[in-house]
A and B are shown apart, each in its own frame.
Chain A
Amino acid sequence: MRFLFKTDYAQDIALAKHGGHVFWYGLLLAFLFGAPWIVPDYWLAQLTFTLIYGIVGVGLMLLAGFTGLFSIGHAAFLGVGAYTEAYLVNHGVPFPLALVTSAALSAAVGVIVGLPALRVKGIYLGIATIAMAFIVEEVLARWEHVTGGNAGLAVKKPAIGDWAIDTPTSFYFLCLVVTIITTLAILNLLRSPTGRAFVAIRDSEVSAQSMGIHLARYKTLSFAISAALAGLGGALYAHKLTFISPDQFNILESINLLLIVVIGGLGSVHGAFLGAIFFISMPQLIALGKDWLPAAIGQAPGLQGVVYGAVLIAFVLFEPLGLYGRWLKVRTYLQLFPFYRQGLFKRQKSFQKSDRLR
């Protein structure tokens, strides 16, 4: 195993802690940039979706995993981003400008939702975000001369200047670059004072406040950034699908986003991407499993829901740290091999915490 002796603060907050990180993430990047020549077209499309869901997942992770505010209506931000992008690009606004505008508009909606969040917490916040999601979905369905209503809206291909991004490969590269930029931005944010304030708020609002953190400001900021990333992801999503309609951004999609974050592992950026990979590959895994099951079960329409639910229940019961937590445990076990102690990752229980007292 590797021993790290940290001698100064810069070493403590470095993005790559040691040479191993540089090597493995370099390999990952090399694979991602070479993917169009390695993997078949179908898998490239899946990879693009994974990157898009990764961006949205990182945004929701910042809110739920790092700030401790959970939103059960996050698909609404996705929808706002997607529709803004579609409307602007269809009306001839240059693609980069449209992308930034859709992120900004989503952030603005996020701030509006974040405002009631200053007064409420816990489940009340969840309900406020559900309410917001339903209102946004209804607006998307009713504001027909902008959104096309329930009939949906076709989205033009993006183009930067004269360079038309009209092939799956070029769009994949666009998504990859946006993903890398946003991930780096979020990683940097998390090691800045702002990111640490978010984590402090998650761990204890009272102590964060007593250390001089302006709760209202940071909670709103967290909502804004999270919504902006969801809007960004939504804009790319709209281009990937080339056709959007309001029911793609309903409550089930919001729950899917939560599923990504929880199954990936709350409180880690890795988790957002692991969750996205899991979420995108899940339908394939189910399709593979169908052939093994008896036809009466394998061909039944509700199978996907049952598997999703069962996986979610299993993760919450047995692996609350998610896929990333499982990887951490395996890695720790291997590192400490003969000395691994039972109960190293044991969860702490707290019986006295009450949402009603605040």
Chain B
Amino acid sequence: MQIVQLVVSGIAQGCIYGLIALGFVLIYKATETVSFVQGDLMMLGAFGGLAALTLMGVPFWAAVPAAIAGMALFGLLLERIVIRPILGQPAFSIVMLTIGIGYVARGLITMIPGIGTDTHSLPVPYKDGIINAGTLVLNVEQLVVIGATATLCLVLFAVFKYSKIGIAMQASSQNQLAAYYMGIPVKTLNGLVWALAAAVAAIAGLLLAPITFVHSNMGFVGLKAFPAAVVGGFGSLPGAIVGGLVIGVVESLAGFYLPDGFKDTAPYIVVLLMLMIKPNGLFGEKLRKKV
């Protein structure tokens, strides 16, 4: 039963990676750029939830949507103010730009006196709950993560499949210029995609917070979401979640069965192997440039 236990906790951790990777993929598909700020957006979301819950004393079920909506607004502003002016520049400049935003976000949080440098625990109602299922001992926190991720995936799937905005997003991610000619407001959609990515990151932060802690460097978890995005195929939304699950489970198993040190490097070994064997990932689209 040990292995099932490990797999469950791996899946829970993998959901977090998957959610962050989902943010990468959303932005990559829509704007051809890679956002290194995703992990820090997650951190900001967790701090937003913390501020709402502890400082303002908002009840839990109101604080969570408030933090998510706040982060969505933040993502929208970020795109409008910082990202939009350099659209069309080489991808490298946007990577550096998002690294810079990450620095500023981390620094600003650290600068808040008394709060920024400490680690906090997010007071959630389901904290420390345990369910005994047969010989299995399941953490409620992990089950919440898995359930919330599954729900979010269903919602996103429905949005992209049935709503007008979702279909327009798909169109503009296929070919921005053609979408623009068809009357799709590509710039507005890019802003919405950033808002969506920031909201997903905030959800990831709020889900991760009870498992670990809230502190200003928790965004570095985002670096493990890159392997997740690559394993799933960088341009694929279901791939991001599947990749996250693969990375989470591999990490969890490696931490138990392999010697010390493999737990943290396993995701990166997996991603290097993946890049050598199948650079397009499990669900990656394969496009070729024609001359």
Query: Given A119-B276, A135-B265, do A126 and B110 touch, yes or no (CB 8 Å)?
Result: no
Assembly CA distance A134 to B226 (angstroms): 13
Report how far A258 CA is from B93 CA in the complex, Å: 11
Interface 9-mer from B96-104, B162-170, B192-200:
B96-104
Which among A309, A354, A358 has the greatest number of chain B C-beta atoms within 10 A? A309
A124:B234 contact, CB within 8 angstroms: yes
Chain A 345-357 against B: per-residue CB contact (8 Å), 1 yes, 0 no? 0010111111111
Flag whether A123 is at the interface (Cβ < 8 A).
yes
CB contacts (< 8 Å) of B86 on chain A: these are 316-317, 320
Cα–Cα distance between A49 and B136 once the two chains are bound (Å): 56
Contact B96 A312 (CB under 8 A): yes
Number of interface residues of B (CB under 8 A): 58
Interface membership of A131, Cβ < 8 A? yes
Closest Cβ–Cβ distance, residue B239 to chain A (whole Å): 14
Q: How far is the CA of A73 from the CA of B1 in the complex (A)?
A: 39
Nearest residue, chain A, Cβ from B97: A316
Q: Are A130 and B100 in contact (CB under 8 A)?
A: no
Tell yes or no: B109 within 8 A of A by CB: yes
Q: In the bound complex, do residue A351 and residue B88 qualify as a contact, i.e. CB atoms below 8 Å apart? A: yes
Residues of A within 8 A of B88 (CB): 349-351
User: In the bound complex, do residue B260 and residue A142 qualify as a contact, i.e. CB atoms below 8 Å apart?
Assistant: yes
Interface residues of A in 304-358 (CB under 8 A from B): 304-313, 316-317, 320, 347, 349-358
- A141 CB within 8 Å of chain B: yes
Question: CB within 8 Å of B: which of A199-219?
Answer: 206
One digit per residue, 1 when the CB lies within 8 angstroms of any chain A CB and 0 when it does not, for chain B 8-50 equals 0000000000000000000010001010000000000000000
Residues of B close to A355: CB separation below 8 A: 32, 91
For B276, give the chain A residue with the smallest CB separation. Answer: A116
Note all chain B residues with C-beta closer than 8 A to A305. 103-104, 106-107, 110
Does any Cβ of A come within 8 Å of B291's Cβ? yes
Stretch at the interface among B124-132, B137-145, B206-214, B282-290: B282-290
Output the least CB separation between A128 and chain B (Å).
5
Taking the closest CB of chain A, its distance from the CB of B209, in whole angstroms, is: 20
Within 8 A of A (CB), among B102-117: 102-111, 113, 116-117
Interface-side segment among A6-14, A29-37, A97-105, A294-302 = A294-302
Which chain A residues border B89 with CB–CB below 8 Å? Answer: 320, 347, 349
Interface positions, chain A 60-95, Cβ under 8 Å from B, are 64, 70
Tell me the complex Cα distance, A289–B265, Å: 40
Given the complex, which residues of A lie within 8 Å of B275, measured CB to CB?
116, 119-120, 124, 127-128
Across the interface, do B99 and A312 meet the contact criterion of CB distance under 8 Å? yes
Residues of A within 8 A of B285 (CB): 356
CA distance A311 to B97 in the complex (A): 10
> What is the distance, in angstroms, from B228's C-beta to the closest C-beta of chain A?
10
- Residues in B with CB closer than 8 Å to A354 are 32
CB distance from B235 to the nearest CB of A (A): 6
Residue of B nearest to A117 (CB): B275
Contact A302 to B91, CB < 8 A, known contacts A297-B111, A312-B103, A357-B288: no
B95: which of A126, A311, A357 is its contact (CB, 8 Å)? A126
Cα A241 to Cα B288 in complex, Å, equals 49
* B272 touches A (CB below 8 Å): yes
Interface residues in A176-234 (C-beta closer than 8 Å to B): 206
Asked if A255 is at the interface (CB within 8 A of a chain B CB), the reply is yes
Which of A115, A300, A307 neighbours the largest number of chain B CB atoms within 10 Å of its CB? Answer: A300
Q: Is the CB of B269 within 8 A of A316?
A: no
Per-position binary interface string of chain B over residues 58-86, scored 1 when its CB falls under 8 Å from any chain A CB and 0 otherwise = 00000000000000000000000010011
Q: Tell whether, in the assembled complex, residue A301 and residue B111 are in contact, meaning their CB atoms are under 8 Å apart.
A: yes
- Determine how close the nearest CB of chain B comes to the CB of A263; give it in whole angstroms: 9
> Are the C-beta atoms of A308 and B103 separated by less than 8 Å?
yes
Q: Give the residue among B82, B91, B105, B109 with the most A Cβ atoms within 10 A.
A: B91
A328 to B194, CA, bound (A): 35
| A352 to B288 Cα, complex, angstroms | 14
B181 to chain A, nearest CB (A): 12
**Contacts A/B (CB < 8 Å), 18 sampled:** A64-B92, A123-B28, A123-B234, A127-B227, A138-B265, A206-B289, A258-B96, A297-B111, A301-B116, A302-B109, A305-B106, A311-B100, A316-B93, A316-B100, A317-B82, A353-B32, A357-B287, A358-B289
Q: Identify 19 new A-B residue pairs, CB closer than 8 A, beyond the known A306-B104, A313-B97.
A: A116-B276, A119-B279, A124-B234, A128-B271, A131-B269, A138-B264, A301-B117, A304-B107, A305-B107, A309-B100, A309-B104, A312-B97, A316-B100, A317-B82, A354-B32, A355-B32, A355-B91, A357-B288, A357-B289
